[in-house]
Structure formats: structure tokens, C-alpha cells
């Protein structure tokens, strides 16, 4: 018997994770490189103008979706992805010594028992600590600038973005938490 033993997660989740990923791939808008060069490249030089956003929206459906650019002769070969122009906050996870949801709710219950004068503040603070906004330059602007430079193009000057700040060779964005990062503080809700 050379059969792989399934982990608890595999038994519990089955193939649901691959189903979710397949659905994400299926619903991500796709465009051929030829069409991208003819119709989208010009938009990305100045992507935040009202008309540009309207035109770009026709390709992605909604600005919270990325756009996959595929090879002209192979729709399964993704050449690169234009990130979503509208980024959602990222939920972080607590470190081993950090604030967990369980500790937070225990602390919140204790506060309610003591009169609940700080409940709204605690909920607000916890929500702010468990989410992190991606660094927009690193997750959106730099990747778009990298794609533009690939085609010998440049993005128009944007307020707050230093000229010549193209960084197409970014690895993981520091604005996106990795599994070891957390925005939870260690002892903020201790009584």
C-alpha cells in the first residue's frame, strides 16, 4: 500500500480549497496580450482618470478584480496580472503571543460585566488591529508601472508617487501580511 494518508484538514475540507481556487481563476477576467496592447495599455498610462476608469471597468467588470493577460496562442498561459485598482483590507492573523479573537471576546465579555463603558472602543480597536490596508504603491502602482515599462511605456505623474519609482521586480509586498506577520498587539486588551 503506497497510498498517501490524508491529513485532518484534507479529510475535513476535501477538495473545497481547490474548488475555491478554481472558481477564483474562472471568474478572474482574462484578455489576450494582443487585445491588451491595443485596448488596455493606453488606459494604464493614466488609469485613474474618470474616463479611463470607466473604460477599464469594461474589461474587469468591477475595479476590485485583477486582470489576467494571457498569451495570444494559449489562453491557459498567464503572462502577467494587472492588480485590482481597488484593494480590499487584508485580515491578519495573531502571532502565538498576540491578541486572538478568543482573548478579545473574553476581554470584551469582562468589560460588559464591568459596565461596558469601553465596549465600542474595544470593538473598533480590534477591527483596526486585525485588518491592514495593503501598501497601494507596492500592490498596484509598481506592478502597473512594471508592465508599462515592459512595453516601453510610462505612467503619468501621480501625486504622492516619486518620479522614477518604478519597481517591477517586487517580491512579496510589505503591505500584505505574511503568515508570520500580525497587526495584533500583544497585550492591548489585558485587564
* Rg of the chain over all Cα atoms, to the nearest angstrom: 22
Range with the lowest mean pLDDT among 12-16, 155-159, 177-181?
A: 177-181
Alpha carbons 41 and 28: distance in angstroms, whole number = 18
pTM over 0.85: no
Any idea how long the chain is?
191
> Counting runs of H as helices and runs of E as strands, what totals does the chain give?
9, 5
Alpha carbons 137 and 134: distance in angstroms, whole number = 9
pLDDT (tens digit per residue) in 30-44: 999 999 999 999 999
pLDDT (tens digit per residue) in 132-141: 777 888 999 9
DSSP 158: -
Contact 64, 84 (CB under 8 A): yes
Amino acid at each position: 500500500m503506497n497510498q498517501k494518508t490524508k491529513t485532518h484538514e484534507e479529510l475535513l475540507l476535501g477538495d473545497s480549497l481547490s474548488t475555491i481556487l478554481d472558481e477564483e481563476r474562472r471568474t478572474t477576467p482574462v484578455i489576450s496580450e494582443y487585445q491588451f496592447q491595443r485596448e488596455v495599455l493606453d488606459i494604464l498610462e493614466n488609469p485613474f482618470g474618470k474616463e479611463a476608469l470607466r473604460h477599464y471597468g469594461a474589461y474587469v467588470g468591477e475595479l476590485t478584480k485583477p486582470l489576467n493577460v494571457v498569451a495570444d496562442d494559449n489562453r491557459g498561459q498567464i503572462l502577467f496580472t494587472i492588480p485590482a485598482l481597488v484593494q480590499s483590507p487584508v485580515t491578519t492573523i495573531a502571532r502565538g503571543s498576540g491578541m486572538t479573537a478568543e482573548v478579545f471576546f473574553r476581554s470584551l465579555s469582562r468589560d460588559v460585566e464591568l459596565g461596558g463603558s469601553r465596549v465600542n472602543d474595544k470593538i473598533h480597536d480590534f477591527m483596526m488591529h486585525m485588518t491592514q490596508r495593503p501598501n497601494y504603491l507596492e500592490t498596484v502602482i509598481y506592478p502597473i508601472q512594471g508592465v508599462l515599462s515592459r512595453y516601453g511605456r510610462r505612467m503619468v505623474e501621480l501625486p504622492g508617487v516619486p518620479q522614477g519609482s518604478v519597481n517591477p521586480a517586487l517580491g512579496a509586498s510589505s503591505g500584505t501580511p505574511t503568515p508570520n506577520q500580525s497587526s495584533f498587539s500583544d497585550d492591548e486588551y489585558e485587564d
